[in-house]
């Protein structure tokens, strides 16, 4: 069993229920694996993996945000005699959706629940028709490039969801907005490290070293090194932001911006 996570899912944690470590997989004979049936339907049936508490499972089950985790379950069958050819079957590929510590009341055991790709297809498609911009910032329709505007920095203090940056640098505390208005430049953007993104809820030019995030960041983000955190600006999705902050009104895609703000059949604004 292999878990992939981190930047570009390049970091892995490997386990085997064999009685000894092998090929970089840690031996965990108490490991339990319950895989969903391989059918042609699209029900959300989870794979259930139970592992003892260790450095990896402690981190993914501590309740703090973690980068996306993908899991692959392989079955090795060895030959009975020397020279016999073995087999390798991949039984499951999916993404970890949730973890439960002390799973089913068992102390120091972590339940890892994952869904395959076909069980994660129930997502809305198409464009919303309202006054917010559907050309997501730095997306293929926005006309803006993230690398031109993001910055790197370091977190000096974490107080719940509030973080304070260290050695304040002008590109972060006084960023350059193409449209000139940088008063809320970082709001609705995100911070990123090792593949984990956490959204920025509140930031103002009046107190530029303080960011209020949407979730508490992991402890290993604190004093992780100069340039360890990527700061990416955001947009409130309004025509005002497109004009005053990003000077990008020509790519504004608020499909319902010119629509009446009421239903003329059943409502009367007067």
pLDDT in the model for residue 122:
86
pLDDT in the model for residue 129:
87
Is the pLDDT at 201 greater than 80? The verdict is: yes
- 82-135 pLDDT, tens digit per residue, is 767 778 899 999 999 999 999 999 999 999 999 999 999 888 888 888 889 999
What percent of the chain has pLDDT above 70?
Answer: 99
Q: Where are the domains of the chain?
A: 2-120, 146-251
Is the pLDDT at 221 greater than 90? The verdict is: yes
What one-character-per-residue DSSP string does the chain give?
-EEEESGGG-EEEEEE-SSS-BTTBEE-TT-EEEPPP--SS---PPEEEEEE--HHHHHHTSSS-----EEEEEEEE--SSTT---EEEEEEEEEEEEEEESGGG-TTEEEEEEE-GGGG-----S---SSS-SS-TTSTTT---HHHH-EEE-EEEEETTEEEESS--HHHHSPPPTTS--TTTTTT-EEEETTEEEEEEE--TTSTTEEEESSPPPGGGBT--TT-EEEE-----SHHIIIIIT--GGG---TTTTS-SS-TTT----
Per-residue pLDDT averaged across 259-269, rounded? Answer: 83
Is the pLDDT at 63 greater than 90? The verdict is: yes
Per-residue pLDDT band for 262 (boundaries 50, 70, 90) equals confident
- 152-166 pLDDT, tens digit per residue, is 999 999 999 999 998
The pTM assigned to this predicted structure is 0.87
- 19-36 pLDDT, tens digit per residue, is 999 889 999 999 999 999
């Amino acid at each position: 069993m292999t878990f992939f996570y981190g930047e570009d899912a390049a970091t892995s944690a490997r386990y085997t229920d064999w009685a000894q470590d092998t090929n970089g997989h840690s031996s965990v004979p108490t490991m339990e694996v319950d895989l969903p049936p391989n059918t042609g339907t699209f029900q959300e049936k989870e794979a259930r993996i139970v592992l003892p508490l260790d450095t990896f499972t402690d981190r993914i089950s501590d309740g703090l945000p973690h980068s996306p985790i993908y899991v692959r379950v392989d079955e090795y069958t060895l030959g009975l005699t020397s020279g016999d050819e073995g087999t390798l079957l991949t039984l499951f590929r999916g993404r970890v959706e949730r973890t439960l510590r002390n799973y089913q009341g068992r102390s120091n055991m972590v339940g890892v629940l994952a869904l395959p790709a076909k069980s994660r297809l129930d997502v809305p498609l198409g464009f919303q028709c309202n006054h917010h911009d559907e050309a997501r910032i730095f997306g293929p329709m926005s006309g803006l490039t993230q690398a031109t505007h993001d910055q790197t920095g370091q977190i000096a203090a974490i107080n719940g969801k509030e973080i304070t940056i260290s050695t304040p640098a002008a590109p972060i505390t006084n960023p350059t907005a193409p449209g000139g208005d940088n008063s809320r430049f970082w709001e609705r953007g995100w911070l990123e490290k090792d593949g984990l993104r956490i959204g920025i809820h509140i930031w103002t030019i009046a107190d530029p070293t303080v960011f209020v995030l949407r979730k508490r960041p992991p402890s290993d983000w604190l004093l992780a090194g100069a340039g360890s955190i990527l700061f990416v600006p955001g947009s409130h999705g309004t025509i005002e932001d497109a004009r005053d902050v990003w000077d990008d009104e020509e790519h504004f895609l608020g499909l319902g911006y010119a629509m009446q703000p009421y239903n003329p059949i059943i409502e009367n604004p007067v």
